[in-house]
Amino acid sequence: MKLSMYAASVPVFSRQLTNLRSILEKASAHAEQRKIDPAVLVAGRLFPDMLPLSKQVQIATDHAKGAAARLAGLEPPKYEDTETTFAELIARIAKTIAYLETFSAIQFEGADERTVTLTMRGNTLTFGGTEYLVGYALPNFYFHVTTAYAILRHGGVEIGKGDFLGKV
């Protein structure tokens, strides 16, 4: 059986965002229980030149909604990057999951052959659909989800691999 572009993207993004939402909920509870200002964790970084947790979540959701839209031949919705609290980041994830739920497998027919063009920082990148999903969108998505996890783990939040992977 051939793996469809839909199956390799939308359910993968939705599942991992659901896990990330649970991790953020644990982080919020951790901050409350330990009397830590949640803003410290939301602004947390692994190293000064890296982006903070809030930006990691924003970029992860951007990759998920962007990849789904582009592979379906649509323009991705734009979100304002204004989240500064756990509640706002969790709401952004929920909004992204709800958006992903609007897609059907039919919209992804031919997505492997679709040309995806991105313009970033003055550079234009052009991919075939499969190359875009497997070589760009999924690796970037997982990079930012993993970095968000690592920032929180480094901040003392009691999470583990099972939280990252979710229920199997």
**Residues 101-144: tens digit of each pLDDT:** 999 999 999 999 999 999 988 999 999 999 999 999 999 999 99
Within 37-132, strands assigned E span: 115-120, 123-128
Q: Does the predicted model carry a pTM greater than 0.85?
A: yes
Identify the three-state secondary structure at position 163: helix
Average pLDDT over residues 10-34: 98
Model pLDDT for residues 39-83, shown as the tens digit of each residue: 999 999 999 999 999 999 999 999 999 999 999 999 999 999 999
* Cα–Cα distance, 111 to 128 (Å, whole number): 8
Class of domain 10-165: mainly alpha
CA of residue 141 relative to chain centroid, distance: 5
Model pLDDT for residues 3-20, shown as the tens digit of each residue: 899 999 999 999 999 999
